[in-house]
Amino acid sequence: MSNITVCARFRPSNSKEKQNGNDSGCIRNIDSETFIFKDEKDEEFVFSFDRVFYEKSEQSDVYQFLALPIVRDVVVDAFNGTIITYGQTGAGKTYSMEGPGILECEEQNKGLLPRVVEGLFDSINSLDEEKTYSIKLSMVEIYMEKVRDLFDLSKDNIQIKEIKSRGIILPGVTEITVLDPAEALQSLSRGIANRAVGETQMNVASSRSHCIYIFTIQQEFLSRDKRTRFGKLILVDLAGSEKVEKTGAEGRVLEEAKTINKSLSALGNVINSLTCGLPGKASHIPYRDSKLTRILQDALGGNARTALLCCCSPSAFNASESLSTLRFGARAKHI
Single residue of 25, 81, 92, 329 touching ligand ADP by CB under 6 A: 92
Where in 112-151 is the site for Mg ion (CB under 5 A)? none
Smallest distance, ligand ADP to C-beta of residue 153, A: 21
What phi-psi label fits residue 87: left (phi over 0), alpha (psi between -120 and 50 degrees) or beta?
left
Q: Name the strands in the sheet holding 44-48, side by side, starting at the edge strand that comes first in the sequence.
A: 27-29, 34-38, 44-48
Site stretch for ligand ADP (CB under 6 A), options 90-98, 186-194, 280-288, 298-306: 90-98
Q: Which stretch binds ligand ADP (CB under 6 A): 89-97, 147-155, 156-164, 269-277?
A: 89-97
The residue sitting closest to Mg ion, measured at its beta carbon, is 94
CB of residue 208 to ligand ADP, shortest distance in Å: 11
**CA–CA separation, 242 vs 236, rounded Å?**
17
Residue 12: name its binding partner from Mg ion, ligand ADP, none (Cβ under 5 to 8 Å by kind): ligand ADP
Query: From the CA atom positions of the chain, what is the Rg in Å?
Result: 20
Q: Which of these segments, 92-100, 157-165, 266-274, 314-322, binds Mg ion (CB under 5 A)?
A: 92-100
299-328: which residues touch ligand ADP (CB under 6 A)? 311
At residue 323's C-alpha, the angle toward residues 293 and 289, to 5°, is: 15
Closest residue by Cα to residue 65 from 231, 323, 308, 324:
308
| C-beta closer to ligand ADP: residue 100 or 172 | 100
* Extended beta strands in the chain, E state: 4-10, 27-29, 34-38, 44-48, 51-53, 81-86, 131-143, 146-149, 161-163, 167-169, 176-178, 210-221, 228-237, 305-312
**Which residue, 93 or 148, has its beta carbon nearer to Mg ion?**
93
State how far the Cα of 195 lies from the Cα of 190, in Å rounded to an integer: 9
The residue range among 44-52, 93-101, 144-152, 247-255 that interacts with ligand ADP, by the rule CB under 6 A, is: 93-101
**Binding of Mg ion by 241 (CB under 5 A):** no
Buried (b) or exposed (e) across 122-150, using 16+ Cβ within 10 A?
Answer: bbbeeeeeebebebbbbbbbbbeeebbbb
Q: How far is the CB of 330 from ligand ADP (least distance, A)?
A: 19
Residue range at the interface with ligand ADP (CB under 6 A); choices 34-42, 82-90, 163-171, 262-270: 82-90
**At closest approach, how far in Å is the CB of 97 from Mg ion?**
8
What distance in Å separates the CA atoms of residue 143 and residue 71, rounded to the nearest whole number? 27
| Residue in 94, 194, 209, 241 binding Mg ion, rule: CB under 5 A | 94
Q: Which of 86, 95, 213, 287 binds ligand ADP (CB under 6 A)?
A: 95
- Report the relative pairing of strands 305-312 and 161-163 from DSSP bridges: unpaired
Q: If binding is defined by CB under 5 A, does position 325 make contact with Mg ion?
A: no
Q: Count CB neighbours of 268 within 10 A.
A: 18
Q: Which is nearer to ligand ADP, 105 or 176 (CB)?
A: 105
Comparison of 79 and 86: residue with beta carbon closer to Mg ion: 86
Candidate ranges 86-94, 176-184, 218-226, 300-308; the one touching Mg ion (CB under 5 A): 86-94
Task: Evaluate whether 126 touches 119 at the Cβ level (below 8 Å).
Answer: no
Q: Which of residues 180-239 bind ligand ADP (CB under 6 A)?
A: 207
Q: Does 114 bind ligand ADP (CB under 6 A)?
A: no
Tally the C-alpha atoms within 13 A of residue 97's C-alpha that lie toward its C-beta.
29
> Which positions touch ligand ADP (CB under 6 A)?
11-12, 87, 89-95, 100, 207, 240, 311
- Interface residues with Mg ion (CB under 5 A) are 93-94
